[in-house]
Amino acid sequence: MFSRLGFKKSGLKIIIVGCGKVGMTLVEQLSKEGHDVTIIDSNEQKVSSVANFNDVLGICGNGASYTTQVEAGIKDADLFIAVTASDELNLLCCTIAKQVGDCAAIARVRTPDYSHEVNYLREKLGLAMIINPELEAARDMARILYLPSALEVNSFAHGQADMVKLLIPKDSMLCDKTIAEAAGGMVNKVLICGVERGEKVFIPSGDFVLKEGDMVSFVTGRKNVAPFLKEIGVKTNRVKDTLIIGGGKGAYYLARHLLELGIDVKIIEADKKRCEELSILLPEAIIINGDGIDQELLKEEGVEYVESFVPLTGIDEVNILLTLHARSVSKANAKVITKINRINFKDVINGLALGSVVYPNNIASETILAYVRARTNSKDSVSVETLTHMYDGRVEAIEFMVDESSAVVDIPLKDLDIKDNVLVSFINHNGRIIIPSGHDMIQAGDTVMLVTTHSGFTDITDMLEETDE
C-alpha cells in the first residue's frame, strides 16, 4: 500500500483500477477537485509513482480480487472506475464491485464486439456508464471531416448544438470587428464563446475585437453551423475521401462512420490477418496490406491527392511524423487529423502544424469527470450533462440540467449576478437551441451550457456570485 501524507479529502470516495494514461489523468483531475481517490494496479512502480505524486492511496494488486477491493475500501466507496487495458477485466472488476459495495461503477470497453451490446451490458451488470474512447474519438473525427474547415467540433444537447473551433484567416470578414459588430450583420445567430490569441485565452464580451490568427470557438444549433461558415466565407463541403494509416479499433470505428456519410475510405495496415478481418468488416473500404510509413507506398496510394489524411497508429511520434509528411506533399491541401494518446507534451504539440488534434484519453476522462461532477452535487440526480475542456484545459464548457428548484429559474439573465469569465452560451429548451440575450430566462427542464475559466462547477448556480448571508 502506498500513500503520501496529506489532507483529508471531502468529496466522493472513488476507486480507480488501472494506472494507464486514462487512469493517471483521472487520478490527477479527481484528486485536484477534492475527491478521496484510491488507485489499484498490478504494477508496483506505477502505483507508487502515481500515489505519491497525486497524494492519493495506492494499492498494488488485482483489481478484480475481492480481497484487494475490500482493502481499497469498496464497501464505503461512492464510485468504482475500471480503465485497465482489458475490456473483460474492466467488466469483471465492476461486476465484483457492484456485488461487494453499494457504489456506481464505470467500465472502459473498447472492443467493437461489445460496442453493439453496450446497453445490454450496462443494464444487466448494473453499470452507471460504459465508455469507449476510440468510438467517441472516431465520432469527433467524423464530425471534423464532415466540416473540414473546423479544427474541433464538440457536440452538446444530445446532438442539437455544436461548438466549433476555427482559425480566423487573413482577410476574413471577421477581422478587426467587435463581436457585437460581427454578430449584428449575420443572418445565422451564433455566439463566440472563446478566443485564443497567442498564449492568452479570453471569454469575450461584445466589445472584444477579433484579429487575424485568432482561434475562435463559437456555439450554435447544429443546423446553423454550415450556413454560418458559408456566410463568413469559410469552406463547408465535407471531404470526398480519406486515407487512414493503421487498422486498429479506432480505424474501424472511423471508417464505419465515414462510409455511412458517403466518404470513400482507404486503410493501410501492416498486419495481413488484420487486413483480412477489415475486408470482411468494411467491404466498402479499400484495405491495403503494407507499411504505412513507407513514403513510396503512401505516394502510390494517393497521399498527394487525397482530401483528408488520418494516421491512427498506436505510436504518437509516428502519427505526428505522418501528419507532417502528408501536409508537406499534399497537392490537395488535405485536411489532416492527428490522434495523440499522451498529453504530456501539449505545448510542443501545439507548436507543430498538425491540423486537428484528437486525444481519445481526454474524451474518456472528461466524460467520467462530468459524471463525477454531477454526483458530487447530488447523489440522486445528474445535473452535469456534458463537460469539455477547451484551450488545453484553461476553459471549461459545461452543460447543466436545470430543475425547478434552481435559483436561476425564471429570472432574466441580465438580472442574475453572474461571475466574471462566465458566459451562458446556449439554452436548450425542449430541443430548441436559444442563443441567449439578457432578456432570455432559463426554465425548469432546460439544459444550459456555460463556458468559463473557472474550474470545478458542479451546479448551474456556481455561475452566480456568492452573497453574504
Specify whether the CB–CB gap between 105 and 98 falls below 8 A. yes
pLDDT at 85: 92
Residue 70 amino acid letter: V
pTM of the model: 0.85
For 20-49, letters b (16+ CB in 10 Å) and e give bbbbbbbbbbbbebebbbbbbbeeeebbbe
pLDDT digits (tens, 9 = 90+) for 180-231: 888 877 777 899 999 999 889 999 988 999 999 999 999 999 999 988 888 8
SS3 348: helix
pLDDT digits (tens, 9 = 90+) for 343-392: 666 667 777 778 899 988 888 888 888 888 877 755 444 578 888 888 88
pLDDT at 321: 95
- Residue 142 phi, psi (nearest 5): -65, -40
Percentage, residues of the chain above pLDDT 70: 95
> How far from chain centre, in Å, is Cα 227?
25
The pLDDT of 262-289, averaged and rounded, is: 97
Place of cell 450554435: 220
The pLDDT of 449-462, averaged and rounded, is: 91
First to last CA, the chain: 45
- CATH number for the region 241-358 comes to 3.40.50.720
The pLDDT of 305-328, averaged and rounded, is: 95
Chain region(s) in the chain for CATH 3.30.70.1450: 137-231, 369-463
* Distance from C-alpha of 217 to C-alpha of 202, rounded to nearest angstrom: 11
Specify whether the CB–CB gap between 104 and 112 falls below 8 A. no
Average pLDDT for the chain: 90
The pLDDT of 338-346, averaged and rounded, is: 79
pLDDT band at 4 (very low <50, low <70, confident <90, very high): very low
pLDDT at 42: 95
Chain region(s) in the chain for CATH 3.40.50.720: 13-131, 241-358
Fold exhibited by the domain 137-231: Alpha-Beta Plaits (3.30.70)
| Domain 369-463 architecture | 2-Layer Sandwich (3.30)
CA dist 289 → 266, 274, 280, 310 (Å): 11, 9, 14, 17
The pLDDT of 96-119, averaged and rounded, is: 89
SS3 221: strand
Fold exhibited by the domain 13-131: Rossmann fold (3.40.50)
* Distance from C-alpha of 145 to C-alpha of 168, rounded to nearest angstrom: 19
